Structure 1
Amino acid sequence: MFWVIPIMAGLIALAGLVLDGGDALAAHQHATDLAQQAARAAADALPQPGLRGALPGDVTPQASAATLAARRILDTADVTGTVDIAGDTVTVTVTVHQATQILSLVGIGDLTSTATATATALHGTTSGDQS
């Protein structure tokens, strides 16, 4: 009869891995979605006149509007993150914290997930008649 306790402990640990592991995967997907949304919003917010150089190296973006657009998305979702702008490329890194439900019983109270996404503002045309 003493085998019931180790088996129950094992089943609870397995349930913790399944439940909290699923939550960790969902948190990572959420972080990825937010990073992609913030990067796209920031790239869209780059001022157009600064993006109209003849070559990508000629681009001179003004980062304040782009950073504000990305921050607005991160603040709305109540997550932390960084926004880096280099030329016409915006990179956003998001960190999401997910509280555990069962693994907190063994001292793991929080799982952290980080995701990074990059978006590039298009300049000029990519196809069509150039005349």
Structure 2
Amino acid sequence: MTVSTRHRARWLRHDEDGRVTAFVIVIVTAVLLFAGLTLDGGLALAAKVRALGEAQEAARAGAQEIDLAAYRANGTLRLAPRQASAAARAYLAAAGHSGTVSIAGNTVNVTVLVSQATQLLRLVGIDSITVTGTGQAQPLRGISGP
């Protein structure tokens, strides 16, 4: 090998310094982001299921508040709106969640907001994921299904 060939080989070897490091940083970052999306996405999905359950249960709690005077007088099954709203809000407060409650006719509508703290996505600045769940319920007479 001549001196110029050795010099070129040494120069090429030094020219590649740092390329592997940059590649490893990019791959590790991509793997961490993928793991973060997987882990925190699963946690967000579980929070969504919890929010849906809490909203439905709060709506059912509100739908139990019927106007007893009307029911006893002529069998009319209708909500007592203030009591239904208060019962649904009380259920949400007991569950430790915030949300909205509305009464439309004979239907209790509840929307719940649940904030899920992230685990790995916190590394890229996403501290929490907020999900919503909605539920509706109406008062029913007797057993309506199997």
Name the TM-score, length of structure 1 as normaliser.
0.83
In the alignment, which residue of structure 2 is the partner of 1:10?
Answer: 30
Q: Which residue of 134, 138, 141 maps to 1:116?
A: 134
Distance 1:43 1:20, change over 3 A: same
Q: Distance in 2 between matches of 1:89 and 1:120?
A: 5
Q: Distance in 2 between matches of 1:48 and 1:36?
A: 23
Percent identity of equivalent pairs: 45
Distance 1:105 1:125, change over 3 A: closer
SS of the equivalent of 2:64 reads: helix
Alignment check: 8 A CA contact 2:65 2:80 kept: no
Measured after TM superposition, the shift of residue 123 of structure 1 is 5.1
Q: Distance in 1 between matches of 2:91 and 2:68?
A: 21
Name the TM-score, length of structure 2 as normaliser.
0.75
Say whether residues 1:84 and 2:102 are aligned partners. yes
Instruction: Specify every segment of 5 or more residues in structure 2 that has no aligned partner in the other structure, as ranges.
Output: 1-19
Q: Which amino acid in the other structure matches residue 38 of structure 1?
A: A
Instruction: Specify every segment of 5 or more residues in structure 1 that has no aligned partner in the other structure, as ranges.
Output: 127-131
Residues 72-124 of structure 1 deviation map (CA, whole Å, 9 limit, x = unaligned): 21111211111111221111111111111111111111101011111111259
Could you say which structure has the greater relative contact order, defined with CA pairs below 8 angstroms and 6 or more residues apart?
Answer: 1
Q: Which residue of 116, 137, 145 maps to 1:98?
A: 116
Q: Which amino acid in the other structure matches residue 64 of structure 1?
A: R
Measured after TM superposition, the shift of residue 125 of structure 1 is 9.2
SS of the equivalent of 1:85 reads: strand
Alignment check: 8 A CA contact 2:54 2:112 kept: yes
Which protein has the bigger helix share? 2
Alignment check: 8 A CA contact 2:58 2:92 kept: yes
Figure out how many residues of one structure are paired with residues of the other and give that number. 121
